[in-house]
């Protein structure tokens, strides 16, 4: 009879340990292959997609586009705002581009095709800080209009509550095993 509660406690411990770990993910820009294009309307903007997504250090952005007609430029905030294509940080022209997000904060991307950025083909992605990453729950990324500097983690007690719950579960397990 004692093996049933021990199995339940063991399952809970593994569940809480699983929640504490996360793996890097690939994010297909816009959620589909043909998203890197001039948006048909403001509501079709890739920034709306990015605002609903959560990006973490180690994740990657993946673009799929016609390389004979377009490119992706990673640029500074100033070049993003002004659609300046003359001095990009990085240029991606292969049509199957993968960019690893190696730091927290904002990343700025614009189209390299003439006139496309001015028509709204651009993207801001905000990567949350590793040390402030919530362990439970997902909240939307900040709006690109709100981004001025490094990403600020949400002020949530989810991480503290997770640790507290984990410690309670571990204490219960140890207490049960000592009985």
- Domain assignment present for residue 101? The answer is yes
As a whole number of angstroms, the distance between CA 140 and CA 160 comes to: 19
**In the Cβ-directed half-sphere of 62, how many Cα atoms lie within 13 Å?**
11
Q: Residue 131 sits in a domain of what CATH number?
A: 2.60.40.420
Q: What is the pLDDT along the chain (179 residues), one digit of tens a residue?
A: 555 555 554 554 444 444 444 578 999 999 988 899 999 887 778 999 999 999 999 999 999 999 999 999 999 999 999 999 999 999 999 999 999 999 999 999 999 999 999 999 999 999 998 665 555 455 555 555 545 444 444 444 444 444 455 555 555 554 555 55
- Pull the structure tokens for residue 113: 């095709």
- Domain assignment present for residue 156? The answer is no
- Domain assignment present for residue 12? The answer is no
- Domain assignment present for residue 91? The answer is yes
What Rg value do the Cα atoms of the chain yield, rounded? 21
Report the predicted TM-score, pTM, of the whole model to 2 decimal places: 0.63
* Axis crossing angle, helix 3-20 with helix 158-178, rounded to the nearest 10: 150
- Domain assignment present for residue 7? The answer is no
Q: Which domain holds residue 75?
A: 22-143
- Domain assignment present for residue 1? The answer is no
C-beta separation of 134 from 160 below 8 A: no
Q: How many domains does the chain have?
A: 1
Strand partners, 73: 91, 110
């Amino acid at each position: 009879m004692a093996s049933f509660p021990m199995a339940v406690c063991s399952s809970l411990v593994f569940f809480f340990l699983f929640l504490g770990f996360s793996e890097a993910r690939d994010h297909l820009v816009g959620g589909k292959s043909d998203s890197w294009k001039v948006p048909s309307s403001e509501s079709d903007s890739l920034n709306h997609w990015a605002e609903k997504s959560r990006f973490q250090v180690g994740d990657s952005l993946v673009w799929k586009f016609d390389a004979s007609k377009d490119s992706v430029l990673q640029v500074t905030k100033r070049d993003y705002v002004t659609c300046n294509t003359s001095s990009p940080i990085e240029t991606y022209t292969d049509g199957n581009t993968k960019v690893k997000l190696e730091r927290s904060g904002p990343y700025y991307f614009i189209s390299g095709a003439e006139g496309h950025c001015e028509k709204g083909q651009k993207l801001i992605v905000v990567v949350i800080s590793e040390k402030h990453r919530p362990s439970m729950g997902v909240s939307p990324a900040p709006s690109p209009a709100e981004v001025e500097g490094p990403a600020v983690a949400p002020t949530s007690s989810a991480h503290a509550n997770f640790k507290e719950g984990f410690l309670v579960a571990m204490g219960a397990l140890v207490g049960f095993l000592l009985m």
